[in-house]
Amino acid sequence: MKYQKIPEATIRRLSRYSRCLEEMDEKGEKVVSSAQLANKCIVNPAQVRKDLAYFGEFGIRGVGYYVKDLLNNIKKILGSDKEWRMALVGVGNLGSSLLAYKDFLKQNYTIVAAFDIDPPKVIGRVSEKLGKPVEVFHINRIKDVVKERKIEIGLITTPPSEAQGVADLLVEAEVRGILNFAPAQITVPEGFVVKDVFFTTILDNLAYLLSN
């Protein structure tokens, strides 16, 4: 298949397929058809095949897909086969919550440093399972620490008013990926990526659907 721009929705679904395939693999299932996977992920079977077709031919006609093989391929496509080292900026309420919440760093996403304007801040309770607590640095050390610890993703958990400033610092430190929890529009230069996680937006969405 010739090159095409890949829809964002496709990438989101790949992540979903990945989760389902992991479950199947754990159950010991060896082979899966697009129909079975689609059924589990609640999408159209042709959608599954088309999504995969953007990246190559992973199936065998008349058979289906080998679960392990497909899973590995999807992880390679997503880049979720490697370890991603993250920094959290803003150790307030939400920030310390996320530091304490181990499950969202599933497998390959690790917070290796945290920053704040007031660094001696106690970083929440340290979850028993979490192991070592995450070190909290003063925000002005961000550039060195990012370099030293090979950080590639930044989580912004400051108040909205500080979000753009923090984004600028992350850009300056060449942190190319930002996950923004602060409900504020932030902009970054070409080559950098921001993904927003606004609880309020999602709740507004829910509220709309419930009211209509």
Yes or no: say if 59 and 44 are a contact pair by the CB < 8 Å rule.
Answer: no
d(CA 38, CA 124): 41
Q: Based on CB atoms, which residue is closest to DNA, 46 or 117?
A: 46
Q: SS3 of 111, please? A: strand
> Is residue 117 at the binding interface for DNA, with CB under 7 A as the rule?
no
> Is residue 206 at the binding interface for a second copy, with CB under 8 A as the rule?
yes
d(CA 163, CA 68): 40
Identified binder of a second copy from the candidate list 3, 4, 5, 79, rule CB under 8 A: 79
Of 17-25, 57-65, 170-178, 185-193, the segment contacting DNA by CB under 7 A is: 57-65
Q: Based on CB atoms, which residue is closest to a second copy, 66 or 109?
A: 109
Q: Which whole-number Å values give the CA distances from 124 to 67, 98, 199, in the listed order? A: 40, 9, 21
> Is residue 124 at the binding interface for a second copy, with CB under 8 A as the rule?
yes
Identified binder of a second copy from the candidate list 31, 35, 53, 78, rule CB under 8 A: 78
103 binds, among DNA, a second copy, none (CB under 5 to 8 A by kind): a second copy
> Is residue 94 at the binding interface for a second copy, with CB under 8 A as the rule?
yes
47 binds, among a second copy, DNA, none (CB under 5 to 8 A by kind): DNA
d(CA 114, CA 134): 7
Contacts 24+ apart (CB under 8 A), 36-45: 36/64, 37/65, 41/13, 41/16, 41/17, 43/13, 43/16
- Please report how many Cα atoms fall inside a 13 Å half-sphere around the Cα of residue 4, on the Cβ side: 13
20 binds, among a second copy, DNA, none (CB under 5 to 8 A by kind): a second copy
Residues in the chain: 212
> Is residue 11 at the binding interface for a second copy, with CB under 8 A as the rule?
yes
The DSSP letter of residue 92 is S
> Is residue 4 at the binding interface for a second copy, with CB under 8 A as the rule?
no
> Is residue 110 at the binding interface for a second copy, with CB under 8 A as the rule?
no
Of 34-42, 62-70, 113-121, 163-171, the segment contacting a second copy by CB under 8 A is: 34-42
Query: For binding to DNA (CB under 7 A), which residues are involved?
Result: 1, 5, 7-10, 33-35, 43-47, 49-50, 52-53, 57-65
